[in-house]
Amino acid sequence: MKTIRPRDMKSAIKKLSPHLNFNIDSGISPYIWLAVIIVITVTTFRPISDNGGIFVRVIFSLLIGAAVILFFLNYKKMTFSQAAKLVIITGLLIRVCYILLTSADVRQHDLGGINGTGHLGYIMNFANNFALPQSNYDQFYHPPLSHFLFGTQVRIYRLFSNDINKAIESIQILTCFCSSAVMVMVHRLLKQSELSEKAMLLALALCCFHPMFYILAGSVNNDMLMVFFALANILYIIKWYKQPTVKNTVFLAITCGCAIMSKLTGALTAPVIAVVFLIKLLEKQKETPRSKLFGGCVLFGVISLPLGLWFPIRNFIRFGQPLTYVRKLPESADVYCGNYTLAERFFSFPASEFVKSLYCIPQEDFNIWIYTLKCSVFGEFEYKGAEAAGVVLLFFNIALIMLSLAAMAYVLLRDKRKETFIAKATLALTWLVTMTAFIKTNLDLPYGCTMDFRYIVPTLVCGSVFIALMYDVLAKRKGAMSKSINIAITTLTVAFSVSSLVFYLSVG
């Protein structure tokens, strides 16, 4: 047997150290650290998270409270990297806390039973049989990537334990990881958007502490993985535009294909990618010949199309399922709202609905805008306790959404900087395509559940970046109005972040 010498150990550690350094700007090290921290904390605290999770709630409230206090006491002394890491770590803590207090059968969508045809049945089919479903009934029509990964997780867990409930709960480790990894991805997207450090920190906080990412961290379905890959698409299309290398082309193709293989709505980033490709091809090229760019587009298609479309084509051949198929509920369903007029559903803003209920009621609600505003921070669920904190959170959420819409219009009209062009174009196109598809789906499928904000999650990242872009534009102006608006942006961001943490630490 070969003897391992100390010099060999030092050499191995030296080679490995770059991959273990928590560098949120590049590399895979932050993703490794996030995965390790999630696995350790969940496996440590899960056994003691029963009985209302009082102990877990107290411990994580103290940890998060300490992180917030540390941030505000040392903000002026910290570097941007230190501040960003602290924000991300705090975001990680609230996500882990949420899944510890929310079991895998709570606040779910179309979960079904172990032997059913919902998401859980789909997952268990992979866990038990390691095979694709033999029908496209119910949730089985969805592409399989998420369910395959979750089924593999259950399969691995059962090598060490026969407790099926614990095995199913272990799925939340993967969804929590995807939600947490988005924070690092957003940070890198902000870096690509040519923002100042303060503007980046504001946008990062909005994404790290947005409640929709807590909810998706615990959702046992294909939403979080699709959002993860969709946001990766946004990041890599900007990187590709700046540097159309083979590496960036391959990464973009893989993330695009995987987004579609997670959920068909992942294809909504495809039109954005196509437009950016066209812009790049039509520009005057100094460094990269058009023939090479065209070859990159071909390479993208060769990788992404088979990866994303093999399952829809398989279902079309086997079951006659249309490529853009979405499961339709009957008009007798209790969530049907097609009996309301288009004016009531799309062209009104009945503020009385806020008084009627703080939370969404899918069986009764009909107005898409009111529903989306509520759903963006609470999901389609009701919570016990902390109603006052919920009202505050909803108020700041509405203010930020209005601000983001104004910021998008302002930046697109007034920001003439060439260095921000591709970020603005990509984000605006993503927002437009996502919202157009959302409205069309609600026209075609008039149900309460179709108005869920989880279908348009990328828009919250777009809105956050546009707020940051506007902040930078205003920061360069000397007027008192510009300064006042930026103070308001900072105040709203802090208030939203704190109210989000307080509410979800209170209700779990």
In the chain, where the domains are located:
222-321
Distance CA 271, CA 278 (A): 11
Tell me the residue type at 239: K
Residue 47 scores a pLDDT above 80:
yes
User: What percent of the chain stands above pLDDT 90?
Assistant: 88
What pLDDT is attached to residue 13? Answer: 43
Q: Which two tokens stand for residue 283?
A: 């520009």
* 75: phi then psi, degrees, rounded to nearest 5: -55, -45
Q: Which two tokens stand for residue 185?
A: 């991805």
What pLDDT is attached to residue 1? Answer: 42
**Which pLDDT band, with edges at 50, 70 and 90, does 278 fall under?**
very high
Q: Which two tokens stand for residue 485?
A: 């608006």
Out of 12-21, 46-55, 257-266, 485-494, least confident range: 12-21
Residue 291 CB partners (closer than 8 Å, separation 6+): none
CA angle 439, 444, 445 (to 5 degrees): 95
Residue 113 CB: number of other CB atoms within 10 A? 11
Which of 62, 59, 34, 38 lies closest to 48, judged by CA? 59
Helix, strand, coil percent values for the chain (each to nearest 5): 75, 0, 25
Which of 127, 114, 121 lies closest to 139, judged by CA? 121
Q: Which two tokens stand for residue 118?
A: 């919902």
Residue 402 CB: number of other CB atoms within 10 A? 11
Residue 63 CB partners (closer than 8 Å, separation 6+): 93
Q: Quick one: angle between helices 421-444 and 387-414, nearest 10?
A: 120
β-bridge partners, 447: 336
- Cα–chain-centroid distance for residue 370? 21
In this structure, what DSSP letter does residue 4 have? P
What pLDDT is attached to residue 101? Answer: 94
* 200: phi then psi, degrees, rounded to nearest 5: -60, -40
Residue 48 scores a pLDDT above 90:
no
**HSE of 29 in the Cβ direction (CA atoms, 13 Å)?**
13
Residue 490 scores a pLDDT above 60:
yes
Which of 455, 454, 420, 463 lies closest to 438, judged by CA? 455
Residue 417 CB partners (closer than 8 Å, separation 6+): 194
Q: Which two tokens stand for residue 219?
A: 């959702």
Which of 214, 265, 202, 206 lies closest to 401, judged by CA? 206
Q: What is the mean pLDDT of the chain?
A: 93
**Which pLDDT band, with edges at 50, 70 and 90, does 9 fall under?**
very low
- At 336 the three-state DSSP class reads strand
- pLDDT (average), residues 449-468: 98
In this structure, what DSSP letter does residue 177 have? H
Interval 406-434: pLDDT, tens: 999 999 999 988 899 999 999 999 999 99
**Which pLDDT band, with edges at 50, 70 and 90, does 6 fall under?**
low
Q: What is the DSSP string of 425-465?
A: HHHHHHHHHHHHHHHHHHHHS-BGGGG-GGGGTHHHHHHHH
What pLDDT is attached to residue 221? Answer: 97
* 447: phi then psi, degrees, rounded to nearest 5: -130, 150
Distance CA 34, CA 28 (A): 10
